[in-house]
Chain A
Amino acid sequence: MIQAVEVLIQAIPYLLGGAVLTVAAVAGGMLLGLLIGLPMAVAQVYGPRPLVWLVRTYVWFFRGVPILVLLFLFYFGLFQLFDWNIGALSASTLVLGMTSGAYQSQIFRGAIQSLAKGQFRAASALGLSDAQAVVHIVLPQALRLSLPGWSNEYSILLKDSALAFVLGATEIMARTQFVATRTYQHLALSLAACGIYFILTWVGVRALRLLERRVAVPGFGNQEAR
C-alpha cells in the first residue's frame, strides 16, 4: 500500500506530462473535426447532390470503422505508403480529427436543419447572398445549438484518444502502462489514469457549459428547463 503511494507520487508528474499530450491530441482533433465537420454539414444541407454524396460517404466510412483500425490504416498503412513520416501523436491527432469531423458534421447538420427556414428567406429577401445568409444567420445559431452535442463529442474523443497508445504516442495511457509494467502497481496507476481522464472530462465539459451560457441569447436555443 505504502509502496503504491510512493510509486504514484513519483509517477504523477510523468503521467501529467502524458496528460499534456492527450490534451494536445484531443484539442487538435476537436479543432480539425470542426474544420472538417462544419463545411461538410453546410455542404450536406445546402450543397449540390454530388457533394452531398461525397459527405455521406465520408461520414459512413469514419463512422463505420473502429478508430483502432483507422489508426493502423493511416499510421502504418497510408502514411507509410506515401512516405509521410509524422510522429505517432500527430498521426493520432489527424485520425481523431478526421473521425470527429464525421461525427461533428452530423451534430452541425442536425442543428442547421432545426432552424426555422423563414430566417434564411428573410435574409435572402434583404439581398444577402446564400453564403452571407449561412455565415451571418445560419451558423451563429447552429453553432449555439451545437454546443451540448459538441461537449458530448469532446468527452467521447478524450477517451478515444487513449487508443493513441497503440501507435506508441506517450500519452496518459502509454505512460501509465510504462510505469505499471516496471513497478507492478497496476491498480494504483490505473486508478490514477481514471482520475486524470475524469478531471479532463469534467473541466472540458464544464468549460463548454460556461461558453454555452456566455453566448446564450435570451429566449433562444438551449434554455435551462425551469
Chain B
Amino acid sequence: MTESPILEIENLSKALGGKPILSGVSFSVRRGEMKVLIGPSGGGKSTLLQCLNFLHLPDAGRILLDGQAVDPRQRKSLYAYRQKVGMIFQDYNLFDHLNALDNVSLALRKVKRMPRADAEARARAELARVGLADKERLYPAELSGGQKQRVSIARALAMDPQVMLLDEPTAALDPELIGEVLTVIRELARSGMTMIMATHQMGFVRSMADEILFMQEGRVIEQGTPEMLLDVECGSRTLDFCTHLAEFESGGGE
C-alpha cells in the first residue's frame, strides 16, 4: 500500500510525577485502519491515547496528522487538531447538565459555530446512527452505561473526526451492555473510520483489528496482525497475556 499514513507518531515520551510512562513510542496509522492497544494496566495505553489528543503534553516526540506536525503550544493548531481527532473515554464523560441532544450539539455550535438548528439536525442524525434517536431529551443520569457511551460516540462523530481514539470504551460497562457499544464501533470501522482503541475484548480484537500493539512499561513490545500475534503456536507475549486474561475472566465468573 503506497498511501501515506494519516497519523504518524514519532518517538513519543512522557513522564508523570518523575516516572516514565511512555518511552519512545513510534507507529503510524493508515486511513481506515483499526489499531488495537493491548497490555497490562499501567503499561501506558491510556497515557498514549491522552497524549495523542494532547490531553497530556508529550515530553518528547512528534505527532503528524496528514503529514503535518502538530504544535500543541499553538492554541489554534491544537484546537483544530482536536476537532479532527475524536476521543472516547472509559467513563463516558458526558456533560451532566445537558441532555443527549445538547451533549452532541454543543461543540458543533461553540467550536464549529454552526447555527443551532443545523447543529441539532446533525446531532439528531448522529444519535440515530448510534441507535438513540428516541433518547435525545434524556439527561446522562437517565441513560444506561451503554447508552451513555453511545451518546459520547455520537458526540465525537458529530465533529467529523478523521481519527477516533477509544480508551477502553467498554471497561466500565456491565457485561450485557458491552455488545451494543461494540456493535456501534464495529459499524464505525466498517464505514472506514480510522481508529486507535485500547480494549481487552479479545473476540472483537480478533475479528476487527488490523494490527495489535502490545504495550508494556511504556513501550510497544510487540506489533502485528491478530493472526500473527494470537496464533496458538506463535509464542508471543500478546498471546500469553491474552491467555491469562481469558483464564482470569473465566475463573472470575461463576
Contacts and interface: CB of A to CB of B under 8 A. Distances in A.
B111 interface: yes
B214 interface: no
A13 interface: no
B94 A128 contact: no
B65 to A, nearest CB: 13
Interface stretch (A79-87, A93-101, A135-143, A175-183): A135-143
Given A125-B87, A127-B80, A127-B107, A217 B97 contact: yes
A126 B97 contact: no
Contact of B159 (A123, A127, A140, A141): A127
- Most B C-beta atoms less than 10 A away, residue of A122, A128, A137, A144: A122
A219 B142 contact: yes
Contacts of B95: 119, 122-123, 137
A109 to B, nearest CB: 18
Contact of B96 (A128, A136, A220): A220
A141 B96 contact: yes
B156 A126 contact: yes
A129 B110 CA distance: 10
Say whether chain A's binding surface is mostly helix, strand, loop, or mixed: helix
Interface in A100-119: 116, 118-119
Interface residues of B, number: 30
Contact of A129 (B79, B93, B96): B79
Contacts of B97: 137, 140-141, 144, 217, 220
Contacts of A126: 82-83, 106-107, 111, 155-156, 159
A132 B159 CA distance: 16
A217 B142 CA distance: 10
B58 interface: no
B136 interface: no
A187 B111 CA distance: 63
B141 interface: yes
A209 interface: no
B91 interface: yes
B96 A119 contact: yes
A129 B75 CA distance: 8
Closest 5 CB pairs of A and B: A219-B141, A122-B93, A118-B93, A125-B87, A127-B83
20 contacts: A116-B96, A119-B95, A121-B89, A121-B93, A122-B152, A126-B83, A126-B107, A126-B155, A127-B80, A127-B159, A128-B111, A129-B79, A136-B106, A137-B97, A141-B96, A144-B97, A217-B141, A218-B142, A219-B140, A219-B142
